[in-house]
Structure 1
Amino acid sequence: MTKEIPLLTVDNLSISFADNHIVKNISFQLERGKTLAIVGESGAGKSLLAQSILQLLPYPHAHHPTGEITLGGEALVGKGDAVLEAIRGNKVGMIFQEPMTSLNPLHTVQKQIAETLLIHKGMVGKQAMQRTLELLTLVGIDSPETRLSAYPHELSGGQRQRIMIAMALANDPELLIADEPTTALDVTIQKQILALLKSLQQRLNMGILLITHDLHIVKSIADDVLVMRDGEIVEYQAKQALFDTPKQDYTKLLLDAIPTGEMLPLEEPELLLTASNINVSFPLRKNFFGKVSHSLDAVKNVSLQVHKGETLAIVGESGSGKSTLAQAILQLTKSRGKVVFLGEQIDAIDHARLQKLRAKLQIVFQDPFASLSPRLCVGDIIAEGIEVHQPDLTPQQVQDKVMATLERVGLDKHSASRYPHQFSGGQRQRISIARALILNPELIVLDEPTSALDRSIQKQILALLLSLQEERSLSYLFISHDLSVVRAISHRVLVMKSGEIIEQGTTDEIFNKAQQEYTQILLSSALL
């Protein structure tokens, strides 16, 4: 009996750009109906490897000094456009990491899915429409008929990701390449997407090549795992063997980077901030006379307290009102309700007094690259706040404070003269923390500060935040959808849904004795 040919074979493959060897001597096989996860930190070469399978790299600037890629016995490296176009979107589907940038903003959902049906199946008109509706139903889009004419910006993150999956599956591919398919999604949507991929794999006997840095996902869906670092294979094992008995130190480091542990409640904490009956509404429509006729209630009668040296986590799905609530507390969004900080009612004070208090209320945003000015060097970015709030300091005193703060967040003094684009994601987040820290705040709002970071970098940032908290008795309002991170860093947790608090308590109470069904669903979806 002859052995079945593997669906995908990558043999001794290298990728170079000009004379720089980026990926070196990679070999693996993927069987039909199986999932191979490729893991590693940013810059390991995972996405380059995935793109090379479809020959999507910028050839000839990119080239393969060694190796071959074989799909069902057919060699792909160096093949012409006619061969590759017959494979792309037909035998091999690909889900890209960021659907908003991968989907055409000028075309409707129907047109984008129908395009691949036309190219590979020759489907048009009613037949293409019927198949498009089948695909939208298959990937779990509610009322698919109403989504055919929608544009990408009119859909949620989870819906856009489902549209990407529908496009990738349009022609029943033999191989699906999924590049970080759930990175920016809520845990409930993430669980739905993974369950969908698994059920489609069983139905189509499809091979899945999954690229991710989330080891919770790897543990739940993969059959085999390939660990990459600096363009090379570090370890290649069956999933269970890799998690139970990792052979290499780097693999152990990745596994050890999964956040663990819980914070103990503070004893007799001192009250720092109280927010009472916070409400935020956004106008949706006005009548002829300019009065608001329809509005969205984004935050509804929310009350909370934050104590000195405490981390209060706010969790919930996208659109639940987490960030809006934080902005209302910081007086960055118009709201109704009472906010008392350091004994002063800050929603009722004048602008000049509020500006002085802002030094004590700081925020670190989710995307440091977007929140750091590309025109300023790091030293100027960090100094900007202190020059506003402490104008009497001499230039030398400002520089000394900047250098000391950079050192405290783990960056060297030479970083001050460089620009944000010259740093990694983890380093940019350290810069954002330094910018907030230099003003010696009492409370820092952390809005998804680790969601886009590798687990190992995430662990470093969390360790830094915990160290700073212990050293300075800092308080954090920590917004996140990553419940393993929340569990590791927070003293208390507040759960939001549709603008309201549905449950709150100590971290132990929420994670081990949750009362509300919604909280239980969030926890079960988090793959903890």
Structure 2
Amino acid sequence: MSSKNELLKIENLAVSFGDKNIVSGVSFSLDKGQTLAIVGESGAGKSLVALSILQLLPYPHAHHPAGEIYIDGLQLVGKEAAVLETIRGNKVGMIFQEPMTSLNPLHTVQKQIAETLLIHKGLTGKASHARIIELLDLVGIEAPETRLASYPHELSGGQRQRVMIAMALANEPELLIADEPTTALDVTIQRQILDLLKSLQKRLNMAVLIITHDLHVVKHIADSVLVMHDGKSIEYSSKNALFSNPKHEYTKLLLNAEPAGEMTELTAPQLILSAANINVSYPLKKNFWGKTTRSLQAVKNVSLQIHQSETVAIVGESGSGKSTLAQAILQLNKSTGDVVYLGEKINAIKHNELQKLRKKLQIVFQDPFASLSPRMSVRDIIAEGLQVHQPKKPLSSQEIDAQVEQVLQRVGLEKDSGLRYPHEFSGGQRQRISIARALILKPQLIVLDEPTSALDRSIQKQILALLISLQKELGLSYLFISHDLSVVRTISHRVLVMYNGEIVEQGTTKKIFAQPRHEYTKILLLSSVL
């Protein structure tokens, strides 16, 4: 695939940490103005290849037993810092995966971009200020002058990603490396960021190397694709050839991992929970006496129903009120309105009585690594709920062990997994542990708050299949929160669309996807088809 316009060339690259070889035999090239996507699941070695280009790995513990990396004919592996500094930021810019951890929380947007301009261009004062405004405008930040004094936490996810892109473009690089630039973003923001990258590429004749596990992104933006698995390059071709005629079995597996299918409608189901006129407000400002003078209404007069063996999905962008609503239903935040579970108004009962109901109303969180204690074994994590909700006759240690082993096997894990700790498992396995922790209490309703958003597509498909099979086997009901409409379509019976704290549309999944009525629903659906 090489040509006279070749900007980046990697030949037989290997990456090792100490004696352990992680990446081997990776070769590809990228022409000026073209886009190459490196795809594969977490742990495939994608980011290690990208960091190797700028020699940003923790050398000398990390090293390259073999391989060469060329930028415009200049070989970079092992080059001294002075040479690399002329490449980093100038010739090659990089957007990292999580802008919140890549941006300095103590510095304003202006200071962070200004630092880049000072180091690489020597710009200060009015010239620097003008260039910062120009860059923020270029990446689509509205009223950029008003954002100069903002700190990262004061920006939305999409705005933070745009600031990262502005910093990467500050020195007009010929190659932009984008490491999972849309993973943590809502579908509408994802589309905006990808469209922005495409327009900037065309305007600046820039090459783009994008790292992703999302084949929607690949289809939308790439010219050619490199598929990686277990540190090796297993397929390298044009985008059209890859999608129309994949050669390798793993590539076919990735392409087939897209969530598919729809749930059939339930007939005469039993109502188990209803919520009426739920409102949640957060104080923004209080006066001297502590009285709230300004507040944010996060959820506004929302009502819903959930039936036995039914999955009700709540969709919408970050900040729309999805998780806040779910927490209100579980009585985990301060709210008004009525929540009725099996005929009992749970918002009116005493704390002790509510505590008894908790075992029937469980929750699985978005990030299993953050929600599982690293200091507890998997056995203790899962057994904790049993110990909190002990029956009148406490269970023996042997009885608890038996139940833990049973629920581990039910979610597809080995029964001896209980002896290990969360960090010893993959992301998909940790999410299975989180589901097991909820299941062991034999709940009727489980709130699933973005349970697959942090997972690779193939793992997502496995978790969705598990949830569907458990629902059929145990008659579970789910309140499923997500911004991924392909996932929602696969698992839900009904869909509620939230926007600015309100339900703007609801209906059966089939009807919402086939005949959306509200403009916001139409935008969501269009954005999900990149």
Indicate the SS of the match to 2:6: coil
- For 2:157, the equivalent position in structure 1 comes to 157
Structure 2 gap ranges (5+): none
Indicate the SS of the match to 2:306: strand
Q: Aligned match of 1:505 in 496, 504, 507? A: 507
- For 1:333, the equivalent position in structure 2 comes to 333
Residues 278 and 335, structure 2, Cα contact 8 Å, conserved in 1:
yes
| TM-score of the superposed pair, with normalisation by structure 1 | 0.99
> For residues 288 and 70 of structure 2, what CA distance do their matches in structure 1 show?
65
Instruction: List aligned pairs for 1:391-410, cutoff 5 A.
Output: 391=391, 392-410=394-412
Residue by residue over 1:223-274, the C-alpha shift from the partner in whole angstroms, topping out at 9 and shown as x without a partner, is: 1111000100111111111111111110010011011111121111111110
Residues 5 and 72, structure 1, Cα contact 8 Å, conserved in 2:
no
- For 1:221, the equivalent position in structure 2 comes to 221
Indicate the SS of the match to 1:469: helix
Residues 220 and 527, structure 1, Cα contact 8 Å, conserved in 2:
no
Amino acid at match of 2:168: A
Q: Aligned match of 1:516 in 507, 515, 518? A: 518
Structure 1 gap ranges (5+): none
| TM-score of the superposed pair, with normalisation by structure 2 | 0.98
Alignment pair present for 1:416 and 2:432: no
Amino acid at match of 1:304: L
* 260-269 or 335-344, larger mean C-alpha shift: 260-269
- For 1:377, the equivalent position in structure 2 comes to 377
Residues 285 and 293, structure 1, Cα contact 8 Å, conserved in 2:
yes
Instruction: List aligned pairs for 1:128-527, cutoff 5 A.
Output: 128-391=128-391, 392-527=394-529
Identity of aligned residues (%): 73
- For 2:90, the equivalent position in structure 1 comes to 90
Amino acid at match of 1:359: K
Residues 24 and 231, structure 1, Cα contact 8 Å, conserved in 2:
yes
Indicate the SS of the match to 1:7: strand
Amino acid at match of 2:520: Y
Aligned residues, how many? Answer: 527
Residues 76 and 84, structure 1, Cα contact 8 Å, conserved in 2:
yes
> For residues 171 and 261 of structure 1, what CA distance do their matches in structure 2 show?
46
> For residues 80 and 109 of structure 1, what CA distance do their matches in structure 2 show?
31
> For residues 60 and 374 of structure 1, what CA distance do their matches in structure 2 show?
29
Residue by residue over 1:166-218, the C-alpha shift from the partner in whole angstroms, topping out at 9 and shown as x without a partner, is: 00011111000000000010111110000000000001111110100011111
Indicate the SS of the match to 2:78: coil
Residues 5 and 73, structure 1, Cα contact 8 Å, conserved in 2:
no
* 388-397 or 31-40, larger mean C-alpha shift: 388-397
- For 2:45, the equivalent position in structure 1 comes to 45
Residue by residue over 1:7-56, the C-alpha shift from the partner in whole angstroms, topping out at 9 and shown as x without a partner, is: 10001111111111110011001011111100111110000000000000
Residues 3 and 31, structure 2, Cα contact 8 Å, conserved in 1:
no
Residues 15 and 65, structure 2, Cα contact 8 Å, conserved in 1:
yes
Indicate the SS of the match to 1:181: coil
Residue by residue over 1:126-180, the C-alpha shift from the partner in whole angstroms, topping out at 9 and shown as x without a partner, is: 0010000011111111111111111111111111111100000111110000000
> For residues 104 and 424 of structure 2, what CA distance do their matches in structure 1 show?
29
> For residues 394 and 65 of structure 1, what CA distance do their matches in structure 2 show?
55
> For residues 52 and 461 of structure 1, what CA distance do their matches in structure 2 show?
33
> For residues 168 and 345 of structure 1, what CA distance do their matches in structure 2 show?
54
> For residues 5 and 71 of structure 1, what CA distance do their matches in structure 2 show?
11
Residue by residue over 1:428-457, the C-alpha shift from the partner in whole angstroms, topping out at 9 and shown as x without a partner, is: 101100000000100000000000101111
Amino acid at match of 1:302: V
Residue by residue over 1:359-411, the C-alpha shift from the partner in whole angstroms, topping out at 9 and shown as x without a partner, is: 00000000111111111111000000011213422211111000000111111
Amino acid at match of 1:90: N
> For residues 76 and 3 of structure 1, what CA distance do their matches in structure 2 show?
20
CA change 1:320–1:3 in 2 (3 A) is closer
> For residues 104 and 260 of structure 1, what CA distance do their matches in structure 2 show?
40
Residues 5 and 32, structure 2, Cα contact 8 Å, conserved in 1:
no
> For residues 331 and 107 of structure 1, what CA distance do their matches in structure 2 show?
37
Q: CA deviation at 1:3?
A: 5.3
Q: CA deviation at 1:306?
A: 0.5
Residues 217 and 527, structure 1, Cα contact 8 Å, conserved in 2:
no
Residues 51 and 57, structure 2, Cα contact 8 Å, conserved in 1:
yes
Amino acid at match of 2:134: E
Q: CA deviation at 1:5?
A: 4.2
* 299-308 or 105-114, larger mean C-alpha shift: 105-114
Residue by residue over 1:76-111, the C-alpha shift from the partner in whole angstroms, topping out at 9 and shown as x without a partner, is: 111111111111111101000011111111111111
Ranges of 4+ aligned residues in structure 1 off by more than 4 Å = none
Amino acid at match of 2:509: T
> For residues 107 and 293 of structure 1, what CA distance do their matches in structure 2 show?
30
Residues 316 and 481, structure 1, Cα contact 8 Å, conserved in 2:
yes
Indicate the SS of the match to 1:203: helix
Indicate the SS of the match to 1:51: helix
> For residues 277 and 171 of structure 2, what CA distance do their matches in structure 1 show?
52
Amino acid at match of 1:340: V
- For 1:6, the equivalent position in structure 2 comes to 6
> For residues 87 and 216 of structure 1, what CA distance do their matches in structure 2 show?
31
> For residues 244 and 261 of structure 2, what CA distance do their matches in structure 1 show?
20
Residue by residue over 1:279-332, the C-alpha shift from the partner in whole angstroms, topping out at 9 and shown as x without a partner, is: 000111111221111010000000000010000000001100000000000000
> For residues 370 and 399 of structure 1, what CA distance do their matches in structure 2 show?
24
Residues 315 and 322, structure 1, Cα contact 8 Å, conserved in 2:
yes
Residue by residue over 1:323-354, the C-alpha shift from the partner in whole angstroms, topping out at 9 and shown as x without a partner, is: 00000000001100000011111001111111
